[in-house]
Amino acid sequence: MYSLVKTYLKVQNLVRAALPFILISLSLNVFSQQMGAKTKVSAGGALAFPTGKSAKTYRRGYGGSLVGEYNLKGNLNAVGYMGYMHFQYRKDVRARLENYGEDTHISGVIPLKVGLRYYFGGIYYAEVLGGSAFALGEHPYQAFTYSPALGACIPINNRFSADLGLRYESWIRNGESTSFYGARIALAVAL
């Protein structure tokens, strides 16, 4: 009998200790289901870390973006993306270009993409976007771009949320590509 009471008290203490975490988790889950797949607009900043051949030329990139989401059905949103990205040359590449008398100024790129974002677990999402990237400056060009991403839309209140995303992006033109991993943090407003 004593061991049964002792076990009961341990379980009771465990439940008391876990109860606040369970309640917080349930309330976040209910709240996040309200914030997930909704029609909304977000604006934010981005960092880019080149990969592959791009990492031999560029050090890092930075920029900003405006994203619009339209709820199609349930957990599925249509997404429109407009951004600006600017990369910096690596120091050795910049020095080599300067030695040859080449212009070392890098103009930005404006990616325009559309795609789908699927919400799971209330606040988490997976998305796939595709479109065009338009390079600006003396030698403008257009490239095909695609970017799969994973992220979370963390609720701040009933209308606002923080959109945090990680993506892989590639701009392809004439068989050459500029690719990078990107991180985006944005403020989203439900419409």
What residues does each domain of the chain span?
A: 36-190
Q: What is the pLDDT of residue 107?
A: 81
Q: What is the pLDDT of residue 30?
A: 47
Q: What is the pLDDT of residue 183?
A: 98
Non-local CB neighbours of 9 within 8 Å, separated by 6+ positions: none
Q: pTM for this one?
A: 0.79
Report how far residue 41's alpha carbon sits from residue 33's, in angstroms, rounded to the nearest whole number. 17
Which long-range contacts link 140-148 to residues 24+ away (Cβ below 8 Å)? 141/173, 142/173, 143/171, 143/172, 143/173, 143/178, 144/171, 144/172, 144/173, 145/111, 145/113, 145/169, 145/170, 145/171, 145/172, 146/113, 146/170, 147/113, 147/182
Q: What is the pLDDT of residue 21?
A: 47
Report how far residue 55's alpha carbon sits from residue 179's, in angstroms, rounded to the nearest whole number. 8
Residue 130 CA from chain centroid, whole number: 14
Q: What is the pLDDT of residue 10?
A: 54
Report how far residue 159's alpha carbon sits from residue 153's, in angstroms, rounded to the nearest whole number. 12
Q: Does domain 36-190 have CATH number 2.40.160.20?
A: yes
Q: What is the pLDDT of residue 23?
A: 44
Q: What is the pLDDT of residue 37?
A: 83
Q: What is the pLDDT of residue 80?
A: 99
User: Tens digit of pLDDT per residue, the chain (191 long)?
Assistant: 555 555 555 545 555 655 454 444 445 554 444 557 899 999 999 999 999 999 999 999 999 999 999 999 999 999 999 999 999 999 999 899 899 988 877 789 999 999 999 999 999 999 999 999 999 987 889 999 999 999 999 999 999 999 999 999 999 999 999 999 999 999 999 99
Which residue bears the tokens 């889950």? 29
Report how far residue 101's alpha carbon sits from residue 56's, in angstroms, rounded to the nearest whole number. 20
